[in-house]
Structure 1
């Protein structure tokens, strides 16, 4: 992809990024709480309660990884349910909450509009199943050049596979991409892929990400 002239409104290490790769849950939409509620509900059905110690295995992780963690927490019995069965229950519980309680993160529409106006390619790189992503996309009102969902890679976050696959499909070098993330698993994935990472502060929404794309040093870069 040829270099673009730097846009002073969206500069990146002396020029424009070749692409901006967005996490979805907790980054563009406020769904982390909904995901935790869904996981907690399914965990209760398996006879256990989620605690803060479960957070690294739930937040920012794929449905399959979370399901495996919940089944392991029941001594591998899963309340009589397989990992696949628990994953299906998680997806259904999450989808129900997304349909009724989805909130777009402050600043997300403005940032996506700025990137579209600057002709910067964008990708959505989510740990959620495609069925969940498709529920969210209409609310964002943005035509992403690429969508990577849980089903698109053999390994999900915190492995680098989703970000490497996004860069490969967009035909850009990961080092020339900015990844926008909120969770430790997502940051680990993007960093391992070689992307520069901007980390979202949920209290501020996307405001600091817009500032970061205007030239602030990215996290991990």
Structure 2
């Protein structure tokens, strides 16, 4: 018997709201404070990732840069700090500090409000009118999620899963598994809507049907790719859940 759509689980940044560019800007700014310049290769380590993961990546790069500088004779003594670098601290303290700075830099950039992506509000309202439970499943901290919900409307979501709500974040399935369990539904009865490779991997690993709003990111096998949420409606999501739409 075909599965029935029981819930829709949405990523936030880059899926419902146009904030992914602001997050990248925040990462670039904090990286610069550490004397680093981000490039395309860094995107997989910061986009769609929890703050802690991005902070750890920046810290690893910063420490590697210091080690290279020391081996090249650029440091006169072990305590010397290179131009543009943060003072040396323990790895744990540094990771926490970098994470806090990333969150602060991101919050500064979204404080003035965010822009919902085309089709997002219409789709959320259509699902609500049809009585389909909707959850927000974000890798962003709760503080950031709450700021975004001032624009999108917290009342549109039955449940919110933020970064602090699971011990392991995307690309592991834990956030989506938590959302499905809290809603009382099987992941196979849920459609997850994502935009990043990290999020797509998490949703697929959880066993959800998956819609990708790729924004130039190739969708993996088994994922329905659409140009924007304007192309998504309740009928499409029901057909996808029932396995009546061919994907990838």
Conserved? CA contact 2:113–2:148, under 8 Å: no
Tell me what 1:104 maps to. Answer: 116
Residue in 2 that maps onto 1:137: 149
Unaligned runs of 5+ in 2: 67-84, 217-226
Distance 2:131 2:61 in 1: 47
Query: Which segments of 5 or more consecutive residues in structure 1 lack a partner in the other structure?
Result: 1-12
> Which residue does the alignment assign to 2:205?
192
Partner in structure 1 of residue 136 of structure 2: 124
Secondary structure of 1:147's counterpart equals strand
Deviation at 1:202, TM superposition (A): 3.7
Q: Are residues 26 and 219 of structure 1, via their aligned partners in 2, closer, same or farther at CA, if it must alter by over 3 Å?
A: farther
Within 5 Å, give how 1:142-221 maps onto structure 2: 142-202=155-215, 204-210=227-233, 212-213=236-237, 215=239, 217=245
SS of 1:180's partner is strand
After superposition, where does 1:63-102 map in structure 2 within 5 Å?
63-75=51-63, 79=86, 80=88, 82-100=94-112, 102=114
C-alpha separation between the residues in 1 aligned to 2:102 and 2:109?
11
Output the CA distance in 2 between the equivalents of 1:175 and 1:109: 24
Distance 1:218 1:90 in 2: 40
Q: Give me the whole-angstrom Cα distance separating, in 1, the residues matched to 2:177 and 2:183.
A: 10
Give the distance between the partners of 1:218 and 1:184, measured in 2 at CA.
20
Distance 1:206 1:184 in 2: 17
Residue 32 of structure 2, aligned match among 34, 39, 44:
44
TM-score scaled by length of structure 1: 0.88
Q: 2: distance between equivalents of 1:184 and 1:201?
A: 9
Label 1:39 to 1:128 Cα distance change in 2 as closer, same or farther (>3 A): same
1:200, 1:209 within 8 Å by CA — same for their partners in 2?
no
1:8 — aligned with what? none
Give how far 1:209 is off.
Answer: 2.9
| Alpha-carbon distance change, 88 to 97 in structure 1, aligned in 2, over 3 angstroms | same
- The residue matched to 1:100 in structure 2 has which SS? coil
SS of the aligned residue for 1:178 comes to strand
Classify 1:144/1:101 alpha carbon distance in 2 versus 1 (closer, same or farther; 3 Å). Answer: closer
Considering only CA atoms, is the larger Rg found in Structure 1 or Structure 2? 2
Compute the TM-score of the two structures, normalised by the length of structure 2. Answer: 0.78
